[in-house]
Amino acid sequence: MEVKLHDIGEGMTEATINAFLVGVGEQVRADQPLVEVQTDKMTAEIPAPANGIIKGFNVKEGDTIRVGETVLIMGAGMSSTAPKRTSPATAQKTRIMASPYTRKLAREAGIPLEKVRGSGPAGRIMDEDIESHLQVEPPPQETPVRTEADSIPFRGRRKQIASKMVRSVRTIPHCTHFEEIDVTELLAWKRDVPDVSMGAFFIKALSICLKEFPIFNGRLDEEQGCVHLQHGHHIGVAVDTEEGLIVPVIRHVEEKKLKDIQRELKELTNKALDHTLTAKEATGGTFTVSNVGPLGGSIGATPIINEPEVALVSFHKTKKRPMINECDEIVIRSMMNVSMSFDHRVADGGTAVRFTNRLRDFIEKPGILLMEMI
């Protein structure tokens, strides 16, 4: 029996082998996790399709394989009452708890995870445990090989993200609209409501805008010749992680209060950083937002749409600038740049401008947004 990599997410084409959770000769039961894999969106486990015995592996940890490729071979099954182990010669393989990034650190340092003592919950191996182990047992020094240039691997999540970006650019005629927004009053409001982040406010404001401009919450179906307008506002939030961009999804934003959005935003961001998102938490988005302002260096950008979505909005750096008010006076205001990329097959520039104008109204006058939520 061949156990193959199957599609575990929207549009997934390949995944990286993180770790094997069983050993050769081990008897396993149906639905028992066999191998942990990493896609561009999530960490997932491939379960056993039936009772059986592990005969061998066709790949190794760190390999990137495509959907449909064989991961391992299982032998004949066992009875439902049979013990998990009949061969005392083969030791039970203990599952090692560690994030994909921690496993990557260990592989690059040449450290078997079995030798590392985990300091996290339930013995989970943390990044700092790898560093501590290196201080106690440094890896053997190899004779350096002189090369003309250095190289870094182009596989795993980085390669998967690249494939998705190329598909989006080739499929969607991108058009990007830029706007600047005065966030002075929003920052003052934020000081009175410290438990709600600017990001949560932006997400709710976008949801209300999507009610007025549902075309940007749609999906183009060229075969049927129509645009399907999605009822739920499932907003993906781009998270910058050590291994690349991950986009967890806050579902049904249109039904949620600011405090609920804030709670989910924090939980999903932490899961993305720890690579523990489930398939549901990382798929099914209808609109994406990228808040790069906190990084401090982004004045503007032309973001690539998260295909098959129709649009994406990026919030950039906030900076104090002299502005002219309605009385022709020079005043200092906190200004933020916003960029919106949209599918020009589905919407025109005028619709995008009206969308960002409405978004600007909500951000510049937070009271207007709060009235919309009553």
| pLDDT tens per residue across span 353-368 | 999 999 999 999 999 9
Among all chains, which residue has been given the structure tokens 């939030």? 237
Query: How does residue 226 score in pLDDT terms, banded at 50, 70 and 90?
Result: very high
Return all residues near 335 (Cβ < 8 A) that are at least 6 apart.
180, 181, 182, 183, 318, 319, 320, 321, 323
182 & 314 share domain: yes
In this predicted structure, which of 43-52, 217-226, 331-340 has the lowest mean pLDDT?
Answer: 43-52
Query: How does residue 85 score in pLDDT terms, banded at 50, 70 and 90?
Result: very low
87 & 170 share domain: no
Chain-centre distance of CA 355, in angstroms?
26
Predicted local distance difference test score (pLDDT) of residue 148: 65
Query: How does residue 221 score in pLDDT terms, banded at 50, 70 and 90?
Result: very high
Q: Is residue 149 part of a domain?
A: no
Query: How does residue 42 score in pLDDT terms, banded at 50, 70 and 90?
Result: confident
Predicted local distance difference test score (pLDDT) of residue 147: 56
293 & 180 share domain: yes
**277 touches 271 (CB < 8 A):** yes
Predicted local distance difference test score (pLDDT) of residue 84: 45
Neighbours of 219 (CB within 10 A): 16
Q: Which domain holds residue 224?
A: 160-372
227 & 259 share domain: yes
Nearest to 230 by CA among 302, 149, 310: 310
Residue 76 half-sphere exposure toward CB, CA atoms < 13 A: 3
Predicted local distance difference test score (pLDDT) of residue 95: 66
Looking at the whole model, is its pTM more than 0.85? no
Predicted local distance difference test score (pLDDT) of residue 77: 63
Query: How does residue 11 score in pLDDT terms, banded at 50, 70 and 90?
Result: low
3-state class of 78 per DSSP?
Answer: coil
- Is the pLDDT confidence value at 82 over 50? no
CATH of the domain at 358: 3.30.559.10
7 & 64 share domain: yes
* Mean pLDDT, rounded, for 174-193: 95
Which residue among 71, 104, 136 closes a domain?
Answer: 136
